[in-house]
């Protein structure tokens, strides 16, 4: 057994079993009886197994708590704070436990990859998978509208850009129709509640690439991923084009930062020229020096492989431009910033992306642009209006909902502020992550171009979140001082626990309105069964699971975010329009919830409104279930006899 | 300056609306522009005097194409605004 002692210490240090055995030996220069050595090896093996298995034990405990908590959730008892109002303590406890386990795992210089991977996948499932288990059907009316687009493509084999603006960017819907056909899925919307889970899991892959481009410290990478999952409250990861486009955006950014970053972006010619231009030149030169810090060398890659990556990025971008209207602008702005400061080598890429975006918009979205160009151009430069529609107008609805919106705003600003602090701390530590800062700041001027229906700040938050998560995590990990001290880890654990609670308020704050029920879906199915083609379908608002089939065959009212709640006379007038062969009014539970949450309708007012419609001689109730009613105008009651 | 544009060209231009023109000639410009930009990007991956010459040649072609592209997009937007 003498060879045993010849093993170099570093090798032993890397092997926990051997290290343990090494420690048990009384004299490392003396021969040890084989039986004793085998015994020591066995004991070490068991001890190491324990050391390796505790994270999984904790994980099982957290999962058990979470599952137990889910059984207690009654989504029908939610108030206007959303899911948090019915979320049992074990669910939150499970997440706190999981976070505690992750913090303990991150004590090691090289955290256990498998354990961290399992932990972060579990975190995503626990955060984003709850609706899968507690809601009957796909949440949010938008999912059902997207199902309608896919159904149209599968039925007709075409898109209808003049019927629906979103069909001018049909890539996602065509892909979803193809996948549904190939997989034999009848209604893809049945899987819509899973979308946030799989999209957030997908996001982790390019995010890890991006973070790895800026640090060798895997603790910082894992912590950044953890914070991204906890900070992604904006809910753009549902069954939608933007969710897929965001993933592809991250992939392209990851490719550029990993293989195409410029290690020495400073031009000595420019720097020396500035030095000769007097005081002002030297001041500009100093700024130039700050703006062009050296970067890590990119991973080495052959020219052919680089060509392949550029070509793949262009093809990927083509799909983004074909699928979503906003993502190309964010991605192009970010890359333009990197190229402008010479931090990425493919200088032509943002120009190619810009031309592709503009070409698609000017050639392929003409049905949308007709009638919209002037209003779109009118928004350019009206920053005040954009901020107003993105902030002030969102704070409306019930008092609870206003509180939710306020918490979202405070949380968003808080994340940005802490991230800025993290960037400064890393700067002080000598790490100039300018590329990440550029990527975070470059899309900000887009605020001056569009209000995007009051959603641009939300999208800005989403596109800056990867960088923000990295910088916030950088406050704790990736510091020159090494691993954080125990009090710091404890403080981080407490802070993350608070963020977990805030996450459920911000992410699921609209859940009462987003909740759709199977009874509502049955009612809409019934509506499509009895309404002849060309009918007018009226609801109090658009917040119900409709438009999921034959959407081009009917006229739907109200349009967009308008509301007809309480307006019986107006509904009567609209439904009396003789140009429609038949008119139907559908009132559902989710419309009532929407009116209370977003329009501030007083509790009980919806029930009174439905009762008034039922009692009105103008309408006949032709279908009724626990969550929905379908009415026809009384003089057209004959239509109700249709099968 | 208009004298150097042939009568046939003027008639051709006059016979088509902006929409037709930008659809036919414009799409060709977009495709050529994208191909040249990518070629230039690929050429930059092979440093050397020969590739530098190619890059300069691409630049010569790219500038007028970019200007044409800008004019085409402006014309299309102007037509949509009308």
Provide the β-strand partners of residue A585: A538, A631
B8-26 pLDDT tens trace: 666 655 665 666 666 777 8
Integer Cα distance of A476 and A488 in angstroms? 8
> A348–B40: do the CB atoms touch at under 8 Å?
yes
CB proximity B50 to A under 8 Å: no
Residue of chain A whose Cα is closest to the Cα of B46: A303
Question: What average pLDDT does range A171-196 have in this prediction?
Answer: 95
> B73–A358: do the CB atoms touch at under 8 Å?
yes
> B45–A306: do the CB atoms touch at under 8 Å?
yes
Integer Cα distance of A9 and A569 in angstroms? 86
Residues in chain B within 8 Å Cβ distance of A347 = 41, 44
Q: How confident is residue A481, by pLDDT bands cut at 50, 70 and 90? A: confident
> A352–B69: do the CB atoms touch at under 8 Å?
no
> B41–A349: do the CB atoms touch at under 8 Å?
yes
Residues in chain A within 8 Å Cβ distance of B69 = 355, 358
> B73–A303: do the CB atoms touch at under 8 Å?
no
Q: For B12-19, which contacts have Cβ atoms below 8 Å and span 24 or more sequence positions?
A: B17/B79, B18/B75, B18/B76, B18/B78, B18/B79, B19/B76, B19/B79
| φ/ψ bin of A323: left (φ > 0), alpha (ψ from -120 to 50), beta (otherwise) | alpha
Q: Select the residue of A311, A347, A373 nearest B80 (Cβ to Cβ).
A: A373
pLDDT score of A32: 57
Under DSSP, the state recorded for A298 is: P
| A168, A259, A335, A348: best to mutate for the B interface, most B CBs within 10 A | A348
Asked if the model's pLDDT at residue A620 lies above 70, the reply is yes
Residues in chain A within 8 Å Cβ distance of B28 = none
Integer Cα distance of A439 and A258 in angstroms? 14
Q: Which two tokens stand for residue A442?
A: 């470059």
CB proximity B38 to A under 8 Å: yes
Residue of chain B whose Cα is closest to the Cα of A361: B73
Q: Select the residue of B44, B72, B81 nearest A374 (Cβ to Cβ).
A: B81
> A355–B23: do the CB atoms touch at under 8 Å?
no
Q: Nearest C-alpha of chain A: how many angstroms from B7?
A: 29
Q: How confident is residue A79, by pLDDT bands cut at 50, 70 and 90? A: very high
Q: Nearest C-alpha of chain A: how many angstroms from B4?
A: 30
Integer Cα distance of A265 and A247 in angstroms? 28
Residues in chain B within 8 Å Cβ distance of A356 = 34
Residues in chain A within 8 Å Cβ distance of B30 = 355, 359, 363
Its pTM surpasses 0.90: no
CB-side exposure of A256: number of CA atoms within 13 Å? 30
Q: Nearest C-alpha of chain A: how many angstroms from B14?
A: 21
Asked if the model's pLDDT at residue A561 lies above 60, the reply is yes
A449-466 pLDDT tens trace: 777 777 888 899 999 999
Residue of chain B whose Cα is closest to the Cα of A367: B80
Residues in chain B within 8 Å Cβ distance of A358 = 69, 73
Residues in chain A within 8 Å Cβ distance of B45 = 303, 306-307, 310
Phi/psi at A465 (nearest 5 deg)? Answer: -60, -40
Specify the range with the lowest mean pLDDT, choosing from A561-575, A596-610, A626-640: A626-640
Q: What angle do CA A198, A407, A410 make, to 5 degrees?
A: 100
> B73–A373: do the CB atoms touch at under 8 Å?
no
Asked if the model's pLDDT at residue A310 lies above 60, the reply is yes
Q: Nearest C-alpha of chain B: how many angstroms from A336?
A: 15
A257-293 pLDDT tens trace: 999 998 888 888 888 888 888 888 888 888 888 777 7
Chain A: which residues have CB within 8 Å of chain B? 303, 306-307, 310-311, 314, 345-349, 351-352, 355-356, 358-359, 362-363, 366, 369-370, 373-374, 377
Residues contacting A185, CB < 8 A, separation 6+? A179, A191
Kindly calculate the radius of gyration of chain B based on its CA atoms and give it in whole angstroms: 16
Q: Select the residue of A303, A355, A358 nearest B46 (Cβ to Cβ).
A: A303
Sequence length of chain A is 643
Integer Cα distance of A239 and A419 in angstroms? 29
DSSP H or E segment with residue B61: helix B49-81
Is the distance from CB of A57 to CB of A481 less than 8 angstroms?
no
One-letter-per-residue 3-state SS of A389-424: HHCHHHCCCCHHHHHHHHHHHHHHHHHHHHHHHHHH
Residues contacting A249, CB < 8 A, separation 6+? A320, A327, A330, A331, A463
| B48, B80, B81: best to mutate for the A interface, most A CBs within 10 A | B80
> A356–B23: do the CB atoms touch at under 8 Å?
no
- A528, exposed or middle or buried, with CB in 10 Å at 0-12, 13-18, 19+? middle
Residue of chain A whose Cα is closest to the Cα of B41: A348
Specify the range with the lowest mean pLDDT, choosing from A180-184, A425-429, A525-529, A589-593: A425-429
CB proximity B34 to A under 8 Å: yes
A420-452 pLDDT tens trace: 999 999 988 888 789 999 999 999 988 887 777
Residues contacting B72, CB < 8 A, separation 6+? A362, B22, B25, B26, B29, B30
Kindly calculate the radius of gyration of chain A based on its CA atoms and give it in whole angstroms: 29
Question: What average pLDDT does range A515-528 have in this prediction?
Answer: 97
CB-side exposure of A258: number of CA atoms within 13 Å? 19
A357-400 pLDDT tens trace: 999 998 888 888 877 777 777 777 777 777 766 666 677 899 99
pLDDT score of A389: 66
């Amino acid at each position: 057994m003498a060879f045993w002692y010849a093993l170099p210490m570093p090798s032993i240090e890397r092997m926990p079993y051997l290290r343990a055995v090494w420690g048990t030996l009384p004299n490392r220069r003396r021969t040890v009886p084989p039986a004793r050595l085998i015994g020591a090896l066995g004991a070490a093996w068991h001890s190491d197994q324990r050391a390796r298995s505790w994270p999984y034990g904790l994980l099982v405990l957290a999962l058990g708590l979470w599952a137990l908590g889910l059984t207690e959730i009654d989504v029908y008892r939610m108030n206007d704070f959303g899911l948090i109002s019915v979320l049992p303590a074990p669910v939150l406890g499970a997440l706190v436990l999981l976070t505690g386990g992750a913090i303990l795992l991150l004590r090691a210089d090289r955290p256990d990859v498998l354990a961290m991977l399992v932990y972060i996948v579990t975190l995503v499932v626990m955060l984003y998978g709850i609706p899968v288990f507690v809601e009957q059907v796909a949440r949010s009316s938008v999912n059902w509208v997207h199902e309608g687009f896919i159904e149209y493509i599968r039925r007709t084999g075409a898109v209808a850009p003049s019927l629906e603006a979103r069909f001018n960017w049909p890539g996602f819907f065509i892909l979803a129709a193809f996948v549904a056909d190939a997989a034999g899925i009848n209604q893809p919307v049945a899987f819509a509640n899973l979308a946030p889970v799989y999209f957030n899991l997908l996001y982790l892959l390019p995010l890890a690439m991006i973070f790895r481009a800026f640090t060798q410290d895997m603790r910082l990478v894992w912590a950044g991923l953890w914070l991204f999952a906890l900070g992604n409250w904006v809910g753009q990861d549902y069954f939608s084009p933007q969710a897929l486009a965001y993933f592809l955006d991250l992939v392209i950014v990851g490719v550029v930062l990993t293989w195409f970053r410029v290690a020495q972006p400073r031009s000595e010619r420019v720097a020396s020229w500035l030095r000769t231009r007097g005081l002002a030149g030297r001041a500009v030169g100093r700024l130039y020096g700050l703006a062009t810090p050296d970067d890590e060398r990119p991973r080495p890659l052959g020219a052919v492989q680089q060509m392949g990556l550029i070509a793949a990025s262009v093809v990927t971008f083509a799909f983004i431009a074909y699928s979503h209207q906003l993502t190309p602008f964010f991605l192009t702005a970010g890359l333009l910033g990197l190229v402008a400061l010479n931090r990425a080598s493919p200088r032509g890429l943002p120009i190619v992306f810009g031309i592709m975006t503009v070409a698609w918009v000017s050639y392929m979205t003409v049905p949308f642009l007709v009638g919209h160009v002037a209003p779109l151009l009118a928004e350019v430069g009206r920053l005040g209006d954009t901020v107003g529609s993105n902030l002030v107008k969102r704070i409306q609805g019930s008092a609870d909902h206003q509180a939710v919106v306020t918490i979202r705003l405070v949380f968003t600003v808080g994340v940005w502020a802490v991230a800025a602090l993290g960037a400064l701390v890393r700067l002080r530590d000598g790490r100039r992550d300018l590329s990440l800062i550029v990527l975070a700041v470059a899309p900000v001027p887009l605020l001056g171009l569009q209000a995007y229906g009051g959603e641009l700040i939300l999208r800005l938050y989403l596109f800056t979140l990867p960088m923000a998560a990295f910088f916030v995590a950088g406050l704790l990990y990736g510091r020159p001082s090494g691993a954080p001290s125990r009090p710091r880890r404890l403080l981080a654990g407490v802070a993350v626990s608070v963020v977990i609670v805030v996450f459920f308020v911000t992410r699921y704050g609209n859940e009462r309105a987003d909740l759709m029920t199977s009874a509502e879906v049955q009612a809409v199915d019934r509506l499509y069964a009895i309404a002849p083609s060309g009918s007018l379908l009226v609801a109090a608002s658009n917040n119900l699971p409709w438009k999921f089939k034959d959407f081009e065959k009917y006229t739907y009212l109200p349009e967009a975010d308008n509301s007809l709640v309480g307006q019986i006379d107006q509904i009567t007038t609209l439904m009396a329009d003789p140009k429609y062969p038949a008119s139907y009014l559908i009132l559902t539970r989710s419309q009532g919830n929407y009116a209370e949450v977003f329009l501030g309708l007083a509790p009980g007012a919806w029930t009174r409104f439905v009762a008034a419609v039922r009692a009105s001689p103008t309408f006949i109730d032709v279908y009724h279930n626990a969550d929905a009613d379908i009415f026809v105008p009384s003089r057209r009651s004959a239509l109700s006899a249709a099968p | 300056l208009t004298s150097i544009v042939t009568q046939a060209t003027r008639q051709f231009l006059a016979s088509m609306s902006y929409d037709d023109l930008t659809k036919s000639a414009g799409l060709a410009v977009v495709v050529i522009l994208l191909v040249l930009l990518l070629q230039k990007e690929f050429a930059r991956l092979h440093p050397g005097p020969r590739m530098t010459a190619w890059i300069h040649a691409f630049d010569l072609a790219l500038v007028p194409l970019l200007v044409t592209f800008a004019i085409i997009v402006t014309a299309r937007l102007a037509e949509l605004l009308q």
